[in-house]
A and B are shown apart, each in its own frame.
Chain A
């Protein structure tokens, strides 16, 4: 990659956000509306609010809950997905139940989960798991079922069975779909992290933003929303970086098929 293409990609990546920020800046520059403060005021608040103590007391706890819930959802989703995808009988029994649970919007579960898990971190992690697990689970099932028949026969004839088959054939073969599920789950996770903190919490991003809103600290509230946007953006960048490393073979394979 030459310096020029790096520059081009950076421009493409940051071009539109820069334009939108500029529009926001000028449109609100002379704003006297209490609820729509000028962007300059929001950025000023951003600098004051989200550096120092709040970073540790609110941002870090939120991110820890998200990480815990997300990772737990990955483990459960992939584990259960392997089982459901590989065993016809399990699939037949579980499918209707899974469809039912999947149809329940996770935020609705917050009050329910609060009843038996309290209002601590466990509740928030459980809420995140309850939403993140579905796309991972369903995509894993699809990925496992789509494992190539010829490759499967090849493994059988070479005696690659059991754990070796799971590791070298099933998991790797399904990995593109598992990653798709994980990508969908990431954005759901961020949403649920905020929602669970808005319901009942003593710290965290969602809690802080609601606090600002209730105390009419409007620029501070906006700065929280901005921070959430930036966090989501950074997490998806991180995800794409990891994906490009883990699925390098898959992208190469697809490119090779497109240009025979």
Chain B
């Protein structure tokens, strides 16, 4: 479905080069929900932009259903972290959701149906006429999610979408994402820096090293499919997985494309610093 192969990205500044991504390879199957987690500043956003066709990689390629991505592909929707900046402040909620659909020329009735449905599933059925800036942060991000849902994408990329909302809203939105994923059968890549979120949400978690970035580990999350904030998070398996990801992230801070495995093993053991 979505293949990342030997992806490298070097930013060239005036007289310095920054290698954000060294060599990334992973695969996301159709209908999977995969989380991408890594230490701060590890090039998560760069990777996501390359995958979304918004940024050209220096080397390597991204394949969507076997076709190389060289610009924003059809059937892909992106939800950004900065909800306040990804919505049109001059349009009400309804028009924000409907705008990407106009190009699809689905007809008025179908368009209305999609928008109504999308706003209903994210819990904004009675906010059609509001402007984004009249809503709370969590509700604004719901609008952005509704816009993605109405677009009927095959792949949904999310770049730390809940990093800027409060903890309670975040928990609600996490459950919303799982619900939508199961209902729509869409492939989801969810980028986050939050370890709990990375374990709770996905079927798999790809752990990245620090920059220049490589894949540190591709971890299968073997939690039951039925998850809820209370029971899943208090289960022993969740705690084990969380600890494992935490450890890997600590290691990732010392590991990058510039170091080899040996150096990593000699790095301070993070387990001791854990509380």
Contact = CB atoms under 8 A, between A and B. Distances in A.
Nearest to B80: A150
B102 A150 contact: no
B88 A172 contact: yes
A158 interface: yes
A154 B78 contact: yes
Interface string A248-260: 0110110011000
Contact of A153 (B77, B80, B87): B80
Given A150-B82, A151-B88, A153-B54, A160 B100 contact: yes
A149 B90 CA distance: 16
B103 interface: yes
A150 B103 contact: no
Contacts of B80: 150, 153-154
A153 B49 CA distance: 9
A156 B73 CA distance: 10
For the residues of B in contact with A, the DSSP-based class is: loop
Nearest to A153: B54
B134 A252 contact: yes
B131 interface: yes
Contacts of A168: 88, 91, 99
B20 to A, nearest CB: 17
B72 A164 contact: no
Contact of B85 (A151, A158, A160, A164): A151
Task: Name which of B90, B91, B103, B147 has the most chain A CB atoms within 10 A of its CB.
Answer: B90
B264 to A, nearest CB: 34
Interface string A73-86: 00000000000000
A257 B133 CA distance: 8
B52 interface: yes
Interface residues of B, number: 27
Nearest to A149: B85
Contacts of A164: 102-103
Interface string A134-158: 0000000000000011110110111
B267 interface: no
A159 B103 contact: yes
B147 to A, nearest CB: 8
A175 B90 CA distance: 10
B151 interface: yes
B166 interface: no
Which 7 A-B pairs rank lowest in CB-CB distance, beginning with the nearest? A158-B100, A150-B85, A256-B133, A249-B90, A253-B133, A157-B78, A157-B72
Interface of A: 148-151, 153-154, 156-160, 164, 168-169, 172-173, 175, 249-250, 252-253, 256-257
22 contacts: A148-B85, A149-B85, A150-B82, A151-B88, A153-B54, A156-B54, A157-B52, A157-B53, A157-B77, A158-B100, A158-B151, A159-B74, A159-B103, A160-B99, A160-B100, A164-B102, A172-B90, A175-B90, A249-B89, A253-B131, A253-B133, A256-B134
Given A149-B85, A150-B86, 19 more contacts: A150-B82, A150-B85, A151-B88, A153-B52, A153-B54, A157-B54, A157-B76, A158-B147, A158-B151, A160-B100, A164-B103, A175-B90, A249-B90, A249-B131, A250-B90, A253-B89, A253-B131, A256-B133, A257-B133
